Amino acid sequence: MLLHLSDYDTVERAESLKNVYLCVTRDNAVKLQKDTYFVADLIGCDVFDSNGKPYGKLTDVLETGANDVYEIDGGKLLVPALKRVLNEVDVERGRIVLNAAVLEEVGCFAD
């Protein structure tokens, strides 16, 4: 992502923002493509499988490079954020439904 800020048109000025937290309001944020979400909207969603079994809440999204990984219930379950794994993501209702059959294959369950 590229960002341009007024009055920060030199390397020296830009370096003054190094390690500074920048906040962008939702009104000024990039428009999301279909089936993409803001991490903040995913955190706290209730997670179920397609049979209705609850797994807890989504607690973090790990960026791995290949694909994101959803951390559920503080790491008790890790699942890749892939279309074949995710049956439904409804951030309005705070609900994520995982494909139960695929979950057994790709889910990483803590003991």
Cα–Cα distance for residue pair 21/38, rounded to 1 Å? 17
Cα distances (Å, whole numbers) of residue 16 to 3, 40, 88: 15, 27, 42
- Residues shown for the chain: 111
Assigned token pair, 59: 């607690």
Domain limits, the chain: 33-109
Claim: this prediction has a pTM higher than 0.85 = no
Residue 6's pLDDT is: 84
Query: pLDDT digit string (tens) for 48-106?
Result: 999 999 999 999 999 998 999 999 998 899 999 999 999 999 999 999 999 999 998 89
Kind of pairing between the strands at 68-72 and 95-98: unpaired
Q: Which CATH superfamily, name and number, covers 33-109?
A: PRC-barrel domain (2.30.30.240)
